[in-house]
Amino acid sequence: MEKNSLIMQYFEWYLPNDGQHWKRLADDAEHLSQIGVNNVWFPPVFKATSTDDVGYGIYDLWDLGEFEQKGDIRTKYGNKEELLHAIKALKEKGIRPIADIVLNHKANADGKEKFKVLKMDPNNRQQSVSEPYDIEAWTYFNFPGRQQTYNDFEWHWYHFSGIDYDAGNDEMGIYMILGDNKGWADNEVVDSEFGNYDYLMFADVDFNHPEVVEHLKEWSSWFVKETGFEGFRLDAIKHIDLTFISEFIETLINEFGPDFFVFGEYWNPDFTANMEYLASIDYEFDLFDVSLHMNLYEASKSGNSYDMRTIFDNTLVKDNPMVAVTFVNNHDTQSGQSLQSPVENWFIQHAYALILLRMGGIPTLFYGDYYGEGYGDHQDAFQEQLDPLLQLRLRYAYGDQVDYFDHGNTIGWTRLGTDEHPDGSAVVMTNGEEGFKSMSMGSLNAHKKFVDFLGNHDAVIELDENGNANFPVRAGSVSVWVSQESI
């Protein structure tokens, strides 16, 4: 029987550096399957700057926790053997493992090199603030701990387009590397913020260099075969030449087939920019619905002054649901992070109902929302609120959807079920006072008694001969009404 797709982002920023996370994930596989998760997005699995690194300070893509490098054999999350075991455990439960791929930059180089740069205005990277001059910087990677196992490629300054630290003069800045065919990626293929947002951090990879392109294609083929990952989440793609990204994904799909699932992080709340990016990559992969996250965040901050009828305005899931990956929060939106915009606690159940119980998009369950931040102390863990929504998605969120978005505070929708999943649901939520929504569940539900699956309302409602009823909701709350006999 077909079930709704669900991604779980199985990490958050503040996980402990205990090397136990791959074991936790393997042990959790059965439970994840039971709550309807069929895709797990892993944190970056590669050797980073240290075991304290969440994984985005990538050092060696070929070291999956196998070699003594940067202070340890393991990554923050465990060693390679434990990683492979976790992947296998998920697959045995029918869950697709998805790797977080960080290609934009490399960090914590093994040696320094001298080369020419222009120092650029950080607020307008098109504008130089110096003449060309020599610097010494950390751009040489030869991975001595790995000793050329799997691959003997070494990275040099000419494989990068920029750097932010001149070690020779002990000076920070944004330095564009000079040389044959060097410079930032063309304006048309990266985000235009700061004049040209090719440079993000560390040693910025030059995707115009043919050796780099060839090396990364070779690496991706090895990586998928070595691990058994069945999808990629692409990090920071607004900083990466979209011509390279498109070609890279095409090569991947050609080798591993159309079921290899790819989605990308193009972090720009401007809905138009997202649509233009999707068109420019010919809809080769899905994107996170950043606009929807920002709407959910704004709604949670605004309380009853937010017009709930507009919650899906200018979102991917509304305008292009086939390529939308929806989410409430993630590791970057957590408090203290670069894109800090956590949805307020009171609105968490509303927000997840809006992505889990509707048609369109593939929703993401965030580890930090489900298990809490900082494993063990369970700060702001919402598992009790989210588990019933996950069961509703598994059993009741199927079939035609009818929206009742006709009130600024109180909105609702019905899902009318299918032959395979005949039990529908009626969802009603408000950011204001107690209220109700008049909705229809169709004549197949005539005279049935409905109750709130979430337990937020204690009424028992009897539908009329046409399957219509007033479905109530408490102030600032959510209720999901289902047939009493179906529970």
Which amino acids are annotated catalytic? 235, 265
Helix (H) or strand (E) holding 186: none
Distance between CA atoms of residues 158 and 30, nearest Å? 47
Closest CA to 33 of 72, 61, 3, 69: 3
236 contacts: CB under 8 Å, gap ≥ 6:
102, 104, 200, 265, 267
Do the beta carbons of residue 388 and residue 453 sit within 8 Å? yes
270 contacts: CB under 8 Å, gap ≥ 6:
291
Instruction: Provide the CA 222 distance to its chain's centre, in angstroms.
Output: 24
Do the beta carbons of residue 41 and residue 96 sit within 8 Å? no
The length of the chain, given as a count of residues? 487
What does the block give as tokens for 311? 């919650």
Do the beta carbons of residue 402 and residue 416 sit within 8 Å? yes
User: 311 pairs with which residues across the strands?
Assistant: none
If you search the block for the tokens 């990068």, which residue do you land on?
160
What does the block give as tokens for 164? 């932010």
Q: Which residues of 76-101 are buried (b: 16+ CB within 10 A; e: fewer)?
A: bbbbbebbbbbbebbeebebbbbbbb
**C-alpha neighbours within 13 Å on the C-beta side of residue 339:** 17
What is the DSSP track for 144-195?
TTTTTSS----B-GGGEEEEEEETTTTEEEEEEE-STT-SSPPGGGS--TTS
Phi and psi torsions of 325, nearest 5°: -110, 115
Phi and psi torsions of 119, nearest 5°: -80, 130
Do the beta carbons of residue 64 and residue 208 sit within 8 Å? no
